[in-house]
Amino acid sequence: MRKIFKIAQREYIETVKTKTFILSILITPAIVGIVLVLVNRLSRDISGPRPAKKVVVADLSRELGDEIKGAFDEYNASRPERQILLEELQVDEDSEEITKEKVRKGQLDGYVVLEEDCVEGQGKIRSYTCGTKIAELDLISNVENLLNSAVFNRRCELRDVSQELLTELRELRRRVPVERVDIGSASEEKRIKAGQEAVEIFVPFFFMILMFTGIFGMGQHMLTSVIEEKSSRVMEVLLSAVSPFELMTGKILGLAGISLTVMSLWGITACVSAYYGAAHWWGINIDIPLEILPYFGIYFVLGFLLFSSLLAGIGSICNTIKEAQSLMMPISMMFVVPMVLWFYLVQHPDEMLARVLSFVPPLTPMIMVLRLASSEHLSFLEIFASIVLLALSVPAVMWVAAKVFRTGILMYGKRPGLWEVLRWLKQG
Amino acid sequence: MEAISLEQVCKSFGEVRAVDELSVRVPEGSIYGFLGPNGAGKTTTIRMIMNIIRPDSGRISIFGDGTFELVKRRIGYMPEERGLYRKMSVGKALAYFGAIKGVKASELSSRVPWWLEQVGLADWADKKVEELSRGMHQKLQFAVTAINDPELVILDEPFAGLDPVNQDLMKDIIGQMRDDGKTIIFSTHVMHEAEQLCDFILLINKGKLILDGSLEQIRSQQRSGVVVAELEGETNFIESLPMVTAVQRQGRRLEITLAEGADPQQLLRIAVERARVQSFEVKVPSLHEIFVKLVGKDDAKDF
């Protein structure tokens, strides 16, 4: 037992130390983090304080001057931290080129021309900006809104609409506030803010990806480790100290440690960003179904044992990573199924397809976690049956893998074919 | 008591009989050399002793025990193909193998530096294994083999790839281990290595046992029947003696080949009577000569 632990310990430390491992586990949370920070920056730019912007407006109709000034003043009065300053109100296009040059040099943030017959005719508002940043896109649309309300006011004025009526009209056009409620869970009705549904559909997907990473994503390290021991001929020395079974068990345990490390790193990152990030920045509460964690644990342990022993077996009969990769193809192909179907399965977690796939042992962990996270009506019997089937298949796979491993690790030269491997199973 | 006993062990790879009905008993506390040309079956025999491959038939027992797993921790094994974790540091690699061989952590902290000192790698403890030269790598491999203080040390071609200085270092350590009462088996295809070190010799060719016994025993059994003598006076009578089949002369030095079953003592008595004997030596055959005599020149050309 102490030997197995020692092997696991070495396996863990030597893998965790490698640069590829550190990069591979940091890169995903890093990308997610960068995206979140960028989105946050972007949204803060849209609503937070920023230095005053300067624009020049040319009113070719020559009749909107007061309205335009009034609209800008009203806007700036209510937003002291996001001022839009009307640098100059021109009445013709004589200084068009000079003004555009100023925009190009960055002395101005925008130049907007109201065409002559824009009040009654088909005249346009033409906006000129230079190298607009995404975060400033709202500047021009705000200016355009201001000019539009100036035109609206002018039109009302021309028709003798009274100020009182105007105020009343504005009041009448007020939007009705919306509140969406999910009544799926009868006890705690949860309010859904805009965007929440879109985010929540990714929660089951995330659980599935986490399971995938946990049971299979770290398999590359198992292959590398077994093949390195074979190619560096360290195997015979190892086998003079430990039995093949101890070696395989130690490797599986070490890999389990690595998987748990990665899963907890990613899981914690994801929970933190979901709880704090989403709530803080987007104002939505993502409901993480933490109650499925015990099931997640069971499926993880079984799925992990299944795949890591399978990979140990595959690694043992290969001499190079390249050889191993061709054997990995069918296994990787299997994982395409949940990856392609997840969107459908999340929306139909209780239908026949989802049920059938839950009873294909290699797929059980991923499919079941996906279903558990997206449906609240899974019968306990179904969960239990899927666990039993998976649990029965694990010792069978481990038995085969251990047999193959015992013979395979000392085979050099040509990779044995399927028939030869089957012969080992019969012999052993 | 025997450290190892093999009884009628056979192993075939496909059509090739790698080991054919081999029986050996290795007494405790001895150095036993497994000799033979390349492909003789030395490594296969050692791998079967180490339970890495299983014999097709026959019985192998170590320390009187047929279950390998029970005696495993009392054995140190250095395989023919050397290999250690390339990315680990020298000290850590040695400590790791010590740990999985069941050496306690408290003992390892003193044993690892001691062994690194023994094989002259003390300054390299923090370097990575991949930085070592071939010879240093092999010495580290030897330290790995010996780190668990095994009672039985099995070395497959331990001197291959070492320079003469390091070969002597290894021979000294092996000699020391024998003096400490350990049993050592090593395979080699270089005869003089075996002659320097071994108490017992097993000679195999094409999987079959050719010779087995103590070095002295083998040499006296396989006497070449050649006497080298320096005689003064008239020596022509030698050729006419019935016990002599051939004489080669190099000045006064005569190389006399005796007939089958003839006693060199008889020759000496006759020589003393008839001439003045300056020197008289019954030539002891080298292992090489014995091997050539037993298996023929073709099989022996690798030596």
Q: Does B88 touch chain A (CB under 8 A)?
A: yes
The predicted complex's ipTM stands at 0.76
pLDDT in tens, chain A (428 residues): 788 999 999 989 988 888 888 887 888 778 777 876 776 666 666 666 777 888 888 888 888 888 888 888 888 888 877 788 888 888 888 888 888 888 888 888 888 888 888 888 888 888 888 876 655 667 888 888 888 888 888 888 888 888 788 788 878 877 787 766 666 544 444 555 555 666 677 788 888 888 888 888 778 888 888 988 888 888 888 888 888 889 999 999 999 999 988 888 888 887 777 777 666 666 666 677 778 889 999 999 999 999 999 999 999 988 888 888 888 888 888 888 888 888 888 888 888 888 899 998 889 999 999 888 887 778 889 899 999 999 999 999 999 998 888 888 887 767 777 788 888 777 75
- The two tokens of residue B261 are 């079953």
Determine the distance in angstroms separating the CA of B166 from the nearest CA of chain A, rounded to an integer: 22
- The two tokens of residue A314 are 């595959």
Taking CB atoms and an 8 Å limit, are B79 and A232 in contact across chains? no
Taking CB atoms and an 8 Å limit, are B100 and A242 in contact across chains? yes
Determine the distance in angstroms separating the CA of B92 from the nearest CA of chain A, rounded to an integer: 10
Q: DSSP state, A122?
A: S
The pairing of strands B200-205 and A180-182 is unpaired
- The two tokens of residue B275 are 């001439």
- The two tokens of residue A87 are 């640098």
Beta strands in chain B (DSSP E): 2-13, 16-27, 31-35, 57-62, 75-78, 152-156, 183-188, 200-205, 208-214, 226-232, 244-250, 253-258, 276-282
| Cβ atoms of A119 and A150 closer than 8 Å | no
Give the chain B residue nearest A9 (alpha carbons): B96
Taking CB atoms and an 8 Å limit, are B77 and A236 in contact across chains? yes
- Is residue A118 classed as helix, strand or coil in its secondary structure? coil
Which one of A7, A18, A237 has the shortest CB-CB distance to B144? A237
Please enumerate residues of A whose Cβ is less than 8 A from a Cβ of B.
2-3, 6-7, 10, 14, 18, 228-229, 232-243, 410
| Cβ atoms of B46 and B185 closer than 8 Å | yes
- Radius of gyration (Cα) for chain A, nearest Å? 32
Q: What is the pLDDT of residues B176-227, one digit of tens each?
A: 999 999 999 999 888 888 888 889 999 898 888 888 888 888 877 776 678 8
Taking CB atoms and an 8 Å limit, are B85 and A238 in contact across chains? no
Q: Which residues of A touch B83 (CB under 8 A)?
A: 229, 232-237
Which residues, in sequence order, are CB contacts of A160 under 8 Å at separation 6+?
A: none
Which one of A18, A229, A241 has the shortest CB-CB distance to B101? A241
Q: Give the best residue of B51, B85, B86 to mutate against chain A (max A CB count within 10 A).
A: B85
Determine the distance in angstroms separating the CA of A328 from the nearest CA of chain B, rounded to an integer: 25
| Cβ atoms of B93 and B62 closer than 8 Å | no
Q: Does B87 touch chain A (CB under 8 A)?
A: yes
**What separation in angstroms does the CA of A16 have from each of A288, A316, B96, B252?**
29, 22, 17, 77
- The two tokens of residue A171 are 């009041």
Nearest to A402 by CA among A382, A374, A424, A371: A424
Residue B142 has pLDDT above 90, yes or no: yes
Taking CB atoms and an 8 Å limit, are A240 and B75 in contact across chains? yes
